[in-house]
Homo-oligomer: A and B are copies of this chain.
Amino acid sequence: MKYYIGVDIGGTNTKIGILDDKFNILIEDRMKTLSKNGARETFKRIWNKVLELSKEINIKEEQIEGIGLGIPGPVENQSIVKIAANFSWGNNFDAKKLMEEITGKKVKVENDVRTIAIGEHLFGAGIGSSNLAVIPIGTGIAAGIILNNKIVSGSHGFAGEFGHIVVDKEGYKCGCGLTGCVETYVSATGLIRYGKKMMEEKKEGLMYERFKNSMNEFDAYHIFEYLYKDDIAMEVFDNFSDKLAYAISILLNTLNLDTIILAGGVAKSADIIIERVKEYLPKYTLSISLEGLQIKKSKLLDSAGIKGAAALILNN
């Protein structure tokens, strides 16, 4: 029996799973990434954790077929991390080579959003779809795009920067340097900022009454808690949905996708977001591009990254 390792390396936490050859997760654990100790140290700790988990379920090291790593930042040729996003591991960092050195196993590396997309496509809400985008919405927003059953990486691994489509030229300055990116509205950060701004301006409504003396406690999920009960929550939500629909419409018009999958932290409220996004879509999307379109929420949730990363090893 062969086994596959899927690793989802995040800025704070790293998730690790061992999968069988049917891609069932047999055991799964998480640990602090502690990236400051350097890439080699981090990768070694991940490998030790893998060996420890293997032992727990009686898998021998030689039964491990390979390791897939999902890492934030642009990844080229499923090996090189082009730009240090959340880690100070340097640009053009050969993550594949380092992990192969440490483990003696076959390693493939991919951008974390793309591993999530691959996971949903092969094992989750994207089964049966050939042209899809998986859009995780959390602190930020991006898209893992799959066309003709192949993940789109772009010429240098930078594809999927969906969050930096400019939707409001007079909008907020974005961390990326541009102005009015999708991400400034359609993200947890965006919801909080716009919600606070509206409450500070209008000073009314149930949500304002609750947070007026504790603005710091106001979080993105409160917008969803106060929907249909508070005008500010509704306006922030409508703006979020409108901007998201606009950005999705562009993918639909240019790529004629059959499926959109919402994932990430905000996916907990995906049902209500999908409902509203569907109302806005026809404003920006050709009717032919809406035909047969499915908009779904993530099915694998937190496991999508692990499954997608492990699948890199299979997927040649």
Write the residues of chain A forming the contact surface with B, with a CB cutoff of 8 angstroms.
Answer: 74, 82-83, 130-131, 143, 145, 147-148, 150, 152-162, 164-166, 169, 176-179, 246, 249-251, 253-258, 283-289, 291-292
Whether the pair B254, A286 counts as a contact (CB closer than 8 A) is no
**Residues in B neighbouring A179, C-beta threshold 8 A:** 283
- Of all chain B residues, the one with the shortest Cβ separation from A142 is B254
**Residues in B neighbouring A162, C-beta threshold 8 A:** 253-254
- Of all chain B residues, the one with the shortest Cβ separation from A74 is B288
Name the distance in Å between A30's Cβ and chain B's nearest Cβ.
Answer: 30
Q: What is the bound-complex CA distance between A303 and B111, given in angstroms?
A: 39
Contact of A83 among B130, B157, B288 (CB under 8 A): B288
**Residues in B neighbouring A160, C-beta threshold 8 A:** 254, 256
Contact of A164 among B145, B176, B253 (CB under 8 A): B253
- Of all chain B residues, the one with the shortest Cβ separation from A153 is B256
Which one of A165, A246, A287 has the highest number of Cβ atoms from chain B below 10 Å of its Cβ? Answer: A165
Name the distance in Å between A118's Cβ and chain B's nearest Cβ.
Answer: 15
Contact of A251 among B83, B157, B249, B254 (CB under 8 A): B254
**Residues in B neighbouring A145, C-beta threshold 8 A:** 254-255
Q: What is the bound-complex CA distance between A289 and B83, given in angstroms?
A: 12
**Residues in B neighbouring A250, C-beta threshold 8 A:** 165, 250, 254
**Residues in B neighbouring A257, C-beta threshold 8 A:** 154-155
Q: What is the bound-complex CA distance between A256 and B161, given in angstroms?
A: 8
**Residues in B neighbouring A254, C-beta threshold 8 A:** 143, 145, 159-162, 165, 250-251
Listed by A's residue number, 13 A-B pairs whose Cβ atoms lie within 8 Å are A82-B288, A148-B150, A156-B256, A156-B258, A157-B256, A158-B256, A161-B286, A162-B253, A166-B283, A169-B283, A178-B283, A178-B284, A179-B283
